[in-house]
Amino acid sequence: METKKLLDDAGHYLMNTYSRFPVVLRKGRGMKVWSTDGKEYLDFVGGLAVNCLGHCHPKVVIAIQKQAQRLLHISNLYHIEPQIKLARRLVINSFADKVFFCNSGAEANEAAIKLVRKYFREQPVNNRFEIITAINSFHGRTIATLTATGQDKIKSGFEPLLPGFRHVAFNDIEALAAAITGQTCAIMLEPIQGEGGVKMPDESYLRNVRELCDRHGILLILDEVQTGMGRTGKLFAYEHYGVTPDIMTLAKGLGGGAPIGAMLSTARIATAFQPSSHGSTFGGNPLVCAAAMATLDVLLEDDLMLDQCRRMGGYFRKKLEALKEEFPGIIANISGAGLLIGIELTRNAAPVVKACLDRGILINCTAGNILRFMPPLIITEKEIDLLTDILEQVFDRLS
């Protein structure tokens, strides 16, 4: 009854921006969540790569409680202790020298776009403003970031879009080289594409992109909003490929569930931002920075969590490969790194997601025939076995 009322009210009062499952989730612990009608689910969506330490990780919860009692919000007119500490931590653990904090992935990318434009406006010859991004990329939903996004379905209806963006195929270094003009200022890529399938870069692709950037004096922006914070088995995905970007954006897992984004860059590029160039009322607020500090504490503790992510990613992958052997007519392809795994089905994935939901497992379908798994990094073999057993039942029915 209570659930029905909530679902009715959702229909009445919320804008219809998501096609949601008819479930109201109220509580979570670790890998599990519970709905208002008391059903238990195993969560392989992980808040879309946000809940990297699972639900309500005790260290994150305690950090938030303590900070909430001390200071919830104070303006960026003043220095903010947890923000300073978090910036230092991110700089020590990455290529970057400087950090700007915001509240989401789109805002982090928006900040990156503003920073590269400003940086090149201040050069002696200042006619560079164009950013090249990849087809099938995803960079966010604000006007600038949806323009950067390489998917028509996300842009459609919002024209006129922002000038100064071009798109080329991911993994096609020739196409990228050909798209560079005298006006190009940056190349912006996800190291591993997350939408429309989990698309891996070819072995040398990112290194070649880096070289191309250096040769032309262009900046490399890596959007690690999804791949960052340990998701791929390294703290940042660029570490797998022997390249460093000039700018990196983070959000999703950064706050372990608290809404925080960040844009990081080298010192040289960061000088383009001066007081009043950019800002955010909530950006880097004490509460979310305390949550992010606690999340990083756990993620980096003796490398245990990253090691766990690599091992569990390997185990998950092995179990999925076994399913592929068993159901070659259903699973066409498996890809991913660490605990960011996509499987391409030969058919529409929605019925599989629905069947798993009915059996108490949350999984995500990105594009029509793609399943994407982004479980918390605290996952164990037991939960992976539970999922693959259920997938086996579901595929068995389908075949």
For ligand PLP, the binding residues (CB under 6 A) are 104-106, 109, 138-140, 190, 194, 223, 225-226, 251-252
Min dist CB 372 to ligand PLP, Å, is 11
Distance (Å, whole) CA 51 – CA 255: 8
Closest contact distance (angstroms) between CB of 326 and ligand PLP is: 31
Exactly one of 44, 223, 236, 246 is catalytic; which is it?
Answer: 223
User: Which residue spans within the chain are E strands per DSSP?
Assistant: 25-29, 32-35, 40-43, 98-102, 130-134, 165-168, 184-189, 219-223, 247-250, 261-265, 331-337, 340-345, 361-362, 364-365, 370-373
Neighbours of 296 (CB within 10 A): 21
Q: Which of 138, 165, 273, 373 is catalytic?
A: 138
- Residue in the shown chain whose Cβ atom is closest to ligand PLP: 105
How far apart CA 66 and CA 81 sit, in angstroms, is 14
Shortest Å distance, C-beta 254 to ligand PLP: 10
Question: Tokens standing for 348?
Answer: 């529409």
Q: Is 138 a catalytic site residue?
A: yes
Contacts of 229 (CB under 8 A, 6+ apart): 52, 235, 250, 252, 253, 254, 295, 299
Question: Which CB sits closer to ligand PLP, 136 or 391?
Answer: 136
Which helix (H) or strand (E) segment holds residue 14: the answer is none
The distance of closest approach from Cβ of residue 58 to ligand PLP in the complex, given in angstroms and rounded to an integer, is 25
Q: Buried b vs exposed e over 124-137: b needs ≥16 C-beta within 10 Å?
A: eeeebbbbbbbbbb
Nearest to 234 by CA among 369, 377, 40: 377
Token reading at 142? 């604000």
- Give the count of alpha carbons within 13 A of 158, CB side only: 16
Residue 251 vs 394, nearer CB to ligand PLP: 251
Rounded CA gap, 316 and 320, in Å? 6
The span from the first CA to the last CA of the chain, in angstroms, equals: 37
Let me know if 223 is a catalytic residue: yes
Handedness of CA 295, 296, 301, 305 (dihedral sign): positive
* Residue 134 C-beta: closest distance to ligand PLP, Å: 11
- d(CA 194, CA 45) in angstroms, rounded, equals 13
What's the count of helices (H) and strands (E) in the chain, helices before strands? 14, 15
Spatial CA neighbour of 43 closest among 25, 61, 20: 25
Orientation angle between helical segments 58-70 and 286-300, nearest 10 degrees:
150
Catalytic site residues? 138, 223, 252
